[in-house]
Amino acid sequence: MDLIERIDSINVYKKGNNRAPHKPLYLLLLLGSLQKGKSRMLPFTDIDPILARALRLFGQRTAGVRPEYPFWRLQHDGLSEVKPSSVAAYVIRLGSGDPKKSSLINSGATGGLAEMDYKLLKSQPGLFSHVCHRILDNHFPLSLHEDILNFFGIVIDRKADQESDNASFRTTVLEDYGYRCSISGFESNPEVQHVGIEATELIWRNHGGDATASNAIAMTTLHRKLFHFGLFTITEDYKVKLSPLIGGSDNVGLKNGRSIELPSRSSAFPSLKALEWHQRWVFRG
């Protein structure tokens, strides 16, 4: 398989509509290191704290993060390698076949992009940008793309159609909500193409969500980003529930227990199943 086919075929952990982002985030970390001119192979001890922070910021809600999993397992997708390469060099975790984290540290393990891919991406900036976009499109909502790129220090060309964000889907959702933010009541203006109001996906479409009105809520650009970061959620009775990680929320129209404004069509009301997905996998409660 060529590089793009291998990118599209990354074997990520799945549970229902949820897809763990561990390998995609590790791959973006390695791509960011390449663009900065760092060595191909990086010590696990350097990768561990950066990837752990990325998993806490952009990953699913979990009790803890495990950077050692993608560090070891991405090589099975033909996209990276680990040295020492022999399993015999490590103490293996029972039941998984993976090295223990302490063993990776004690053995001085290093990891990096497959050498062939590293050379190819270094020589073709256009392919580098295409690969980054592909990873982001396959695994994360558009509202977080810029934040993820900034986190890893990656600079790439913008896609020509990136801002469209499925124009017909956005228009349908915004019409249902009267071009008003369901959270704050902010109302946009057609003279400026309703800038500042977005169709905010509940179940991300690259996680099995569909492009229907009941899988979205109209929110301002700010609220959409906070929602996709999991800093607030919407309960089954359509009320705002804040994460303990958010502060100064009153200043942006977020108040615990406040009812959201619902769309004009009852068939476009936010899906309870989709809200449950967000509460379980995204909300940082």
Q: How confident is the model at residue 192 (pLDDT cuts 50, 70, 90)?
A: low
pLDDT > 80? residue 61: no
pLDDT > 80? residue 78: yes
In the chain, what is the greatest distance between 2 CA atoms, to the nearest angstrom? 66
pLDDT > 90? residue 211: no
- C-alpha dihedral, 154 to 157 to 229 to 42, nearest 10°: -20
Q: What is the pLDDT of residue 160?
A: 46
- Are residues 144 and 73 part of one domain? yes
Q: How confident is the model at residue 95 (pLDDT cuts 50, 70, 90)?
A: confident
Domain containing 19: what range? 3-152
> What's the mean per-residue pLDDT of the chain?
89
Q: How confident is the model at residue 164 (pLDDT cuts 50, 70, 90)?
A: very low
Residue 160 lies in a domain: no
Structure tokens of 49?
A: 């704290």
Q: How confident is the model at residue 161 (pLDDT cuts 50, 70, 90)?
A: very low
Q: How confident is the model at residue 285 (pLDDT cuts 50, 70, 90)?
A: confident
In angstroms, the CA 90 to CA 108 distance is 10
Which of left, alpha, beta for 78 (phi over 0: left; psi -120 to 50: alpha)? Answer: left
Residue 162 lies in a domain: no
| 154-177 average pLDDT score | 74
121, 152, 183 - which closes a domain: 152
Residue 28 lies in a domain: yes
| 149-172 average pLDDT score | 73
* Amino acid identity at 229: F
- Are residues 183 and 136 part of one domain? no
126, 152, 178 - which closes a domain: 152
Identify the residue with better confidence: 117 or 143. Answer: 117
Give the helix, strand, coil percentages of the chain, each rounded to 5.
Answer: 45, 15, 40
- The whole-model pTM stands at 0.79
- Are residues 148 and 8 part of one domain? yes
- Are residues 182 and 124 part of one domain? no
DSSP line for 193-226: TTTTEEEEESS-GGGT--SSGGGEEEEEHHHHHH
- Are residues 144 and 25 part of one domain? yes
- Are residues 117 and 43 part of one domain? yes
Neighbours of 138 (CB within 10 A): 15
pLDDT > 60? residue 162: no
| 210-231 average pLDDT score | 93
Q: How confident is the model at residue 249 (pLDDT cuts 50, 70, 90)?
A: confident
Window from 58-67, 265-274, 275-284 with minimum mean pLDDT? 58-67
Q: Do the Cβ atoms of 111 and 81 come closer than 8 Å?
A: yes
- Are residues 191 and 148 part of one domain? no
In angstroms, the CA 56 to CA 221 distance is 22
Q: What is the pLDDT of residue 158?
A: 64
| 243-262 average pLDDT score | 86
Identify the residue with better confidence: 110 or 168. Answer: 110
Residue 20 lies in a domain: yes
Q: What is the pLDDT of residue 163?
A: 45
3-40, pLDDT tens digit by residue? 999 999 999 887 776 778 999 999 999 999 999 999 99
- Are residues 266 and 148 part of one domain? no
Rg (CA), the chain: 21
Residue 174 lies in a domain: yes
